[in-house]
Chains A and B, each alone.
Chain A
Amino acid sequence: MGKRSKSSRSGRTTTAGKVFSSKRATSYKNETEPSKPVPKSRGKHALLNAFEIAEAEERKKARKNGEEYSDDSEDHDIDDVYDDGIVRFNKDGTRKVYQPGDEEEEEDDSEIDSDEAFGSDDGDEEILDSFGVKSKAKAKFKAMEDEYDSVDEEEFVDLSEAWDLDDRQQENLKKKSGEKAAQKEDAKKSSKTKATTSFNLQEEEDDESHGDDESEEGGSEQEQDADSEDVSDGEEIDSDNDDDSDDGDDDSDEEDSDGSVFSDIDTEFDEEKADKLRSLISNMYENDEDAEYEKRRRYENNNQEENEFGVTVSKKNNDGKLSLSDLTSGVDKKAAASLSLLGKPDGKSKNKPQHVAVPLSKRLQDKVERKAALDLTREELTKFDDLIAQDEDAEHLVFPRLPVYDSDEEAKQLPNTGISALAPESAMEKKIAGILKTSALADESQAQKFEELATKNMSMEELAARRNELRRMRELMFREEQKARRIKKIKSKTYRKIHKRERERLRDAMMSDEESDQEDHDIKRAQERMSLKHKNQGKWAKRMVSQGLTKDAETRGEMEEMLRRGESLRKKMSARDDNDGDEQIDSNLGDDQFLSQNRDALVDPDEPAEGANLGKGLLGMKFMREAEARQKTENQQRIQELDRAKANWELGQSDDEDEGRVDTANEILNQGRRKYAPGTKRSIADVLAVKIDSERKADLQSDDDEDDNDDRDNDNVTTVVKSDKKKEGGAQDDDSDSDDDASNPWFTETNIHKSNKVKPVMEAEASARDRLAHKVAKHQSRVVESAKSKKARKQDNILIDTSDTLDLVTQDREADTDKGISFKQDMIKRAFAGDDIVEEEFMAEKRQRIADEGDQEIDMTLPGWGGWGGEGMKAPKKRFVKKIQGVAVEKRQDRDLKNVIISEKSDKKSDKYQVKSVPYPFESVEQYEAYLKMPMGQQWTTETTHQKLIKPRVIVKPGAIINPLDAPQK
């Protein structure tokens, strides 16, 4: 893991370098950009062995072939240059040729980073691939191509000169060694800084290197002739300089790096890979070109010292020491491509101490990795965010999930096909479908195609017109929609009403039979109009009038007929406009209403007449007035009769015990004879009821006395009753009481005498009762009083108070009731004589309760403490008093309730079914109660509601496979 990440890191740096290099390559065409296999890289034993073997073989060949290779190689190389390639030079003067055909391999060869090589401890190609070496190579090639295109002619000149380099090299070296050294020092310094700086400093570097180049160009040709490997990093120039120098620093660097390489490799040596290498090396010189190249190299290096391994060591560079570049120079390019372990020549690491960065500690490394992994995972997981949010919101989740359609169309199509709206199923459908198909009507696509074709055939203007038309239609539709929306918002009722009427009219018009009706009507109207028989403005009519022919009976009849017709027509017109509600009302008239209507008919004309007759001459005359008065009295009588009839009705209908009795009594009076048959059930019941009523009256009276506390000394019971009436407390029992009062003969004994004086006139009484019957809902006393006042105003001597009458009646009755019953009543009365005692007791209890449950004071003073005793001494002040807070009177639930004690004791046992505070997550009582309000019970909700409310959140279909969540495709 560690290794791989290391390698990947190095891979990254190289990529960055590449980008940089490609840029550079384009911007500085003329400069030579030598770069080398990176000495920074650490080798392996395996590699070393391999190269030893390779060198040995090479040496043998060299002995055989001698010097003849040099010429051939020269020719060949020149051809290469002119044909299709670009020549590049290794640091020690060897050159390489790029051919478009096999660039990739060559690139691989040259560009494998040493870092990578070390990262991948087994030099397998696969791993190299995984490091992206190939892709890098491609990128490099591109960069190179750029450079390749932009190669100058000058460069070729330079390069051709370069062939003489080998001869001149030594001289040049010697000559310029002095100034070179100085230059190199500068370059080195700059390179060092560069190596440490990041690639952000690219521009700076460019400038610097450019400057260096210029200086070098000016200084010597050698710069240009040196390795022109286009792989360029920030440190190319340095490596450039290194080529020419015999700098000790460099050597030491090399050694350092080499040493580290070997030490590292020791442990990881692999036999298998060594075998691979061997086979590779044996294939090394299969290619003639390569062989020649090798020969040439050998020749070039002839002047250099040989060591025991047969590896030529470039003396000038390394001070006679073996470097990795020396080794790699002998490796076949193709083989090297596969042997990417060696890495590409990397200028970056040439000059300065290229230590491999100390790997991070395992822990930190892991941390970094974890972080990276986390980021990646996180990014991956964000894809699910929407889906998860959806699921969280969903009330129910059903697994397995319903299929998700990629597109809307798919989703739409599916249900359609399911409904078989498209697929014909029955035989007839199929038949029809077949016919349609054959007649090419079924295919919608054809129609569509046709439309498309139509548009295609259109000219530009037509198309524009068509488009405009469509746009207009759309605009209109939109406006209509807007209008509808606006109208929808109107809240005015009148507007609605009007429009409703309009709509109804429209609808009526739409309906066929209505229409025909309307038509009929119109036709008739038209006919009538045509006949003109209804007009008296016609020529004929006018003539008749002007000629005085109207006196003729026949003509007049015709005229009249005409007018009548016109009138009826006009009526018809108006009738059509009006609604026919009046008729309905008439038809709905019941008996009761009939009576009252008749009555109104009698009454109503009277009243305006009184005011109206003042100014009129005839009506003001005496005889007319008398007649009218007569009429009035007659009417009055009739009104009374009607009222009585009505009252009888209502009373007959309402047969309460009280009223029923009253009724019978009245009947008796009306008939002028009294029937008191004690044997009859009814009368006994009545009498009993009356007795009880009187009893109750007495009770109530005492009630009221208690309430008021001021009317106790009232002898006159009527006054009490009146005070009752005045009170009008609104309490229902008062109502009923007073209701009874009015009809209670036992109650007002004083009244009995009073009413005795008043001779009853039954007609008037009937009318009074009528009023009473009308105002059942109203308070009795008010009714009576108003009746009284009205009577006083209108008919002073004939109307009497109802209650008075009733009193009279009962008084009459009382005379006849047997003693036994009255005795019983007495008994009852006596039995409940002390009722107020009961109430008093209750009130006392309530007071006691209030005191007990209210604030308490406890005297904690110890007797005999805190003061002196004895004669003449004051009792000590109460200093130790405890106050216990109870329920204040004004906070009691029963504070306003008479005769009710409500316990203030808390129900502790039910505490466990209550919560003390608003439970989480609710914020207020309202929220909590709203939550609880949802009815879940089966018994008070519908089955569907119940099922819905108890539906589990997650529903898993049994036996179905539930696939893991798919990331939404975006």
Chain B
Amino acid sequence: MSEAPKKKPAWKTARNKELRKDLKRVESHTQEAKEAAKKTEMLLLEEQGFLEAENEMEATHKVTQEEIKASVDISTKKKAYDLKLPDFGPYDINFTRTGRKLLIGGRKGHVAAFDWREGRLQFELNLNETVRAVQWLHNDQYFAVAQKRNVFIYDHQGSEVHRLKQQIEMTNLDFLPYHYLLVSSGLTSMLFYQDVSIGKQVAAFKTRLGPTTSQCQNPYNAIMNLGHSNGTVTMWSPNVDEPLVKMLAHRGPVNDVSVDRSGRYLATAGSDSSVKVWDIRNTYKEVLRLPRTKVAPQTVNWSDSNLLSVGHGNTITVWKDVQSAPRPKQPYMQHNMHPDWKVSSAQFVPFEDILGVGHSEGFSSLIIPGAGEANFDALEVNPYQTRHQRREEEVRTLLQKLQPEMITMDPEDIGRIAMDKDRRRKTAREQMEEITEPNKKRAQESDDDMPELQPHLADEETAVSKELQKKKKKGVVDERQMRLEQLQERERRMRENKKRRLEEGYVEEYVSPAISRFQQRQ
């Protein structure tokens, strides 16, 4: 909704004085709020420190992790490590929203959660069955695991809390923090929305597009983006049983999808070894595509500072400035792991310059300078949250939980005036009504449901008059009464006519209107 720059302010259009005053006040408040918010940017002192080439002979992507580690401070250095877990890989990883806790799930049943910075293990589980995906819920107290058959929810100690028995063979899990919805999709072409605060399944849709190969949320509007094996990407809300948008992105299965923080750009990685960036505001057009990789990319991820990581084979490539057309010639950073370590999942750690990579042999964390959001908003997500604050936040977010119905493509639609609702497609029911309604109307128009006219009787003896009298006693004038009155009038006219004719000496028997047309006219 881009507005013209020189638009007449709304309050000036108001004719009502009171309204005018109100609007003016509100507008000034809005302006003040904006300005104040703008001023607070001054307080955001931290800056993202990107890697910069000192001279033009240098290239940032040539800087190795070892070199970075050698030059950064100890605490940062400690954050970059490899976790070798060769037995149960490949690993799916997930960080909490605060970036404190890491959850890893090995395909062969190993699930563990730990404070990844301090290396303190929270719990470790061996589920002895396939683990396809792991996902933290609203905080580090609960997490969901997509196992061989069902999705399970565990608590912070690793004890099983729930089994979501309807969700079978899920491969992708995601959590919408503001709506408390756990979204899962998988091999069965089903998409489930599960409200974890009340344990209710909000929606379950058939995508009809075969196995869902990838899934991510749009953090701006909580729309789920699903990648399918036929190369399409679909966008879902829990309120509509068909995809809001369906776009053909790749020529092979979509291995991974990711939407940046602003909700404007979608990155897709296809099995056709291409990575594309799409503008998903209105145009759904490809912004650019990254150079093809030799091995089909498995993961794409946006960082908070709009870096894009692509994992393919044993390589992780990070791209910078890929949200507008001329794509940079070379990546921002590149890291080759051991040739045997195949990347299976990757995620940038919130508020950290770290990229976590889950691979076939465990977990690695890479230092990617400038990847994290430098200025965090503690009211929103606090990386230094204490236990007490976590509890407070849990209550607060539960109280402020958004309803699933509020998920729309444009979040601004909520509260807006739905002026263009009439252009929507009609449902089958509406269409049927449209077909049957004219009949109904016609039925009403005919007088089949009315008492017969009896002009040969006295005025007060006719059925019409009697019914009318009853109606009048009730004292409610309705449509039927009006029609009765009309009939009565007609009756009277007929009676009069008859009387006159009799007086004139014309003898006529009463003929019903059906037969009257056969009468010869004189």
* Interface residues, chain A, with chain B CB atoms under 8 Å away: 393, 395, 592, 649-650, 652-660, 685, 688-689, 691-693, 695-696, 699, 731-733, 735-736, 740, 776-777, 828, 831-832, 835, 838-839, 841-842, 853, 856, 858, 860, 882, 884-887, 891, 897, 899-918, 921-935, 938-942, 944-945, 948-949
A942 interface neighbour in B37, B230, B239, Cβ under 8 Å:
B37
Question: Chain B 411-433 against A: per-residue CB contact (8 Å), 1 yes, 0 no?
Answer: 00111111101011110000100
CB-nearest residue of chain A to B420: A906
Q: Report the separation of the CA atoms of residues A924 and B291 in the bound assembly, to the nearest whole angstrom.
A: 50
Which residues on the A side are within 8 Å of B443 (C-beta)?
none
Closest 5 A/B residue pairs (Cβ):
A906-B424, A930-B10, A909-B239, A653-B56, A656-B329
Assess the B435–A927 pair: CB atoms within 8 A. Answer: no
Assess the A897–B283 pair: CB atoms within 8 A. Answer: yes
Assess the A733–B286 pair: CB atoms within 8 A. Answer: yes
Which residues on the A side are within 8 Å of B13 (C-beta)?
923-924, 926-927
18 contacts between A and B (CB under 8 A): A657-B291, A692-B293, A733-B288, A776-B326, A777-B326, A828-B273, A832-B272, A884-B426, A897-B283, A907-B240, A910-B414, A913-B415, A915-B415, A927-B10, A928-B417, A930-B26, A930-B27, A931-B26
Which residues on the B side are within 8 Å of A928 (C-beta)?
417
CB-nearest residue of chain A to B295: A688
CB-nearest residue of chain B to A882: B435
Chain B nearest CB, measured from A105 CB (Å): 63
Chain A nearest CB, measured from B198 CB (Å): 17
Q: Report the separation of the CA atoms of residues A395 and B61 in the bound assembly, to the nearest whole angstrom.
A: 58
Which residues on the B side are within 8 Å of A905 (C-beta)?
240, 242, 424-425
Q: Is B515 an interface residue (CB 8 A)?
A: no
Assess the A839–B248 pair: CB atoms within 8 A. Answer: yes
Q: Report the separation of the CA atoms of residues A733 and B291 in the bound assembly, to the nearest whole angstrom.
A: 11
Which residues on the A side are within 8 Å of B247 (C-beta)?
899-901
Q: Is B122 an interface residue (CB 8 A)?
A: no
Assess the B14–A923 pair: CB atoms within 8 A. Answer: yes
Which residues on the A side are within 8 Å of B242 (C-beta)?
903, 905
Assess the B406–A935 pair: CB atoms within 8 A. Answer: no
Assess the A908–B239 pair: CB atoms within 8 A. Answer: yes
Q: Is B245 an interface residue (CB 8 A)?
A: yes
Q: Report the separation of the CA atoms of residues A698 and B382 in the bound assembly, to the nearest whole angstrom.
A: 49
Assess the A927–B23 pair: CB atoms within 8 A. Answer: yes
Assess the B416–A929 pair: CB atoms within 8 A. Answer: yes
Which residues on the A side are within 8 Å of B134 (C-beta)?
none
Chain B nearest CB, measured from A513 CB (Å): 33
Question: Chain B 3-35 against A: per-residue CB contact (8 Å), 1 yes, 0 no?
Answer: 000000111011110110111011101101110
Q: Is B474 an interface residue (CB 8 A)?
A: no
Which residues on the A side are within 8 Å of B61 (C-beta)?
655
Chain A nearest CB, measured from B456 CB (Å): 39
Which residues on the A side are within 8 Å of B294 (C-beta)?
685, 688-689, 691-692
CB-nearest residue of chain A to B245: A902
Assess the B15–A940 pair: CB atoms within 8 A. Answer: no
Which residues on the A side are within 8 Å of B18 (C-beta)?
921
Q: Which residues from 208 to 257 on chain B have a C-beta closer than 8 Å to any C-beta of chain A?
A: 230-232, 237, 239-240, 242-248, 251-252
Which residues on the A side are within 8 Å of B406 (C-beta)?
910, 913
Assess the A900–B418 pair: CB atoms within 8 A. Answer: no
Question: Chain B 49-84 against A: per-residue CB contact (8 Å), 1 yes, 0 no?
Answer: 000010011110110000000000000000000000
Q: Is B360 an interface residue (CB 8 A)?
A: no
Q: Report the separation of the CA atoms of residues A897 and B285 in the bound assembly, to the nearest whole angstrom.
A: 8
Q: Is B445 an interface residue (CB 8 A)?
A: no
Question: Chain B 291-331 against A: per-residue CB contact (8 Å), 1 yes, 0 no?
Answer: 11110000000000000000000000000000001110110
CB-nearest residue of chain A to B39: A942
Assess the A831–B37 pair: CB atoms within 8 A. Answer: no
Assess the A930–B9 pair: CB atoms within 8 A. Answer: yes
Q: Is B117 an interface residue (CB 8 A)?
A: no
Q: Is B264 an interface residue (CB 8 A)?
A: no
Assess the A659–B425 pair: CB atoms within 8 A. Answer: no
With A653-B57, A897-B284, A925-B419 already in contact, the answer to whether A693 and B292 are too (CB < 8 A) is: yes
Assess the B408–A732 pair: CB atoms within 8 A. Answer: no
Q: Report the separation of the CA atoms of residues A649 and B59 in the bound assembly, to the nearest whole angstrom.
A: 12
Chain B nearest CB, measured from A640 CB (Å): 21
Assess the A692–B292 pair: CB atoms within 8 A. Answer: yes
Assess the B33–A941 pair: CB atoms within 8 A. Answer: yes
Which residues on the B side are within 8 Å of A949 (C-beta)?
29, 33
Assess the B56–A649 pair: CB atoms within 8 A. Answer: yes
Which residues on the A side are within 8 Å of B408 (C-beta)?
907, 910
Which residues on the A side are within 8 Å of B273 (C-beta)?
692, 828
Q: Is B40 an interface residue (CB 8 A)?
A: yes
A903 interface neighbour in B243, B291, B405, Cβ under 8 Å:
B243
A931 interface neighbour in B21, B23, B286, Cβ under 8 Å:
B23
Chain A nearest CB, measured from B439 CB (Å): 11
Chain B nearest CB, measured from A455 CB (Å): 49
Q: Report the separation of the CA atoms of residues A45 and B62 in the bound assembly, to the nearest whole angstrom.
A: 130
Q: Is B514 an interface residue (CB 8 A)?
A: no
A736 interface neighbour in B22, B288, B424, Cβ under 8 Å:
B288
Assess the B62–A655 pair: CB atoms within 8 A. Answer: yes
Which residues on the A side are within 8 Å of B240 (C-beta)?
903, 905, 907, 909
Q: Is B171 an interface residue (CB 8 A)?
A: no
CB-nearest residue of chain B to A777: B326
Q: A653-B57, A838-B251 are in contact. List 8 more A-B contacts (CB 8 A).
A: A658-B291, A699-B251, A777-B326, A900-B246, A904-B425, A916-B418, A923-B14, A944-B36
Assess the B405–A912 pair: CB atoms within 8 A. Answer: yes
Which residues on the A side are within 8 Å of B399 (C-beta)?
none
Which residues on the A side are within 8 Å of B29 (C-beta)?
934, 948-949
Q: Is B289 an interface residue (CB 8 A)?
A: yes
Which residues on the A side are within 8 Å of B19 (C-beta)?
921-923, 927
Assess the B414–A886 pair: CB atoms within 8 A. Answer: no
Assess the B292–A914 pair: CB atoms within 8 A. Answer: no
CB-nearest residue of chain A to B30: A934
Q: Which residues from 364 to 407 on chain B have a C-beta closer than 8 Å to any C-beta of chain A?
A: 377, 379-380, 404-407
Q: Is B94 an interface residue (CB 8 A)?
A: no
Assess the B413–A914 pair: CB atoms within 8 A. Answer: yes
B244 interface neighbour in A688, A902, A915, A945, Cβ under 8 Å:
A902
Chain A nearest CB, measured from B85 CB (Å): 27
Q: Is B434 an interface residue (CB 8 A)?
A: yes
Which residues on the B side are within 8 Å of A913 (C-beta)?
405-406, 413-415
CB-nearest residue of chain B to A693: B292
With A658-B291, A927-B23 already in contact, the answer to whether A910 and B424 are too (CB < 8 A) is: no
Chain A nearest CB, measured from B187 CB (Å): 21
Q: Report the separation of the CA atoms of residues A841 and B419 in the bound assembly, to the nearest whole angstrom.
A: 35
Chain B nearest CB, measured from A698 CB (Å): 12
Chain A nearest CB, measured from B502 CB (Å): 45
Chain B nearest CB, measured from A732 CB (Å): 4
Q: Which residues from 257 to 301 on chain B have a C-beta closer than 8 Å to any C-beta of chain A?
A: 272-274, 283-289, 291-294
B330 interface neighbour in A655, A860, A929, A939, Cβ under 8 Å:
A655
Which residues on the A side are within 8 Å of B59 (C-beta)?
653-655
Chain B nearest CB, measured from A315 CB (Å): 80
Q: Report the separation of the CA atoms of residues A914 and B287 in the bound assembly, to the nearest whole angstrom.
A: 33
Which residue among B27, B40, B62, B330 has the maximum number of chain A CB atoms within 10 Å of its CB? B330
Assess the B248–A899 pair: CB atoms within 8 A. Answer: yes
Q: Report the separation of the CA atoms of residues A891 and B423 in the bound assembly, to the nearest whole angstrom.
A: 9
Which residues on the B side are within 8 Å of A649 (C-beta)?
56-57
Which residues on the B side are within 8 Å of A692 (C-beta)?
273, 291-294
Q: Report the separation of the CA atoms of residues A733 and B275 in the bound assembly, to the nearest whole angstrom.
A: 12
Assess the B62–A900 pair: CB atoms within 8 A. Answer: no
Q: Report the separation of the CA atoms of residues A918 and B237 in the bound assembly, to the nearest whole angstrom.
A: 27
CB-nearest residue of chain A to B414: A913
CB-nearest residue of chain B to A940: B37
Chain B nearest CB, measured from A59 CB (Å): 83
CB-nearest residue of chain A to B29: A934
With A901-B245, A913-B406, A925-B419 already in contact, the answer to whether A659 and B25 are too (CB < 8 A) is: no
Assess the B291–A693 pair: CB atoms within 8 A. Answer: yes
With A654-B330, A942-B37 already in contact, the answer to whether A926 and B10 are too (CB < 8 A) is: yes
Chain B nearest CB, measured from A673 CB (Å): 24
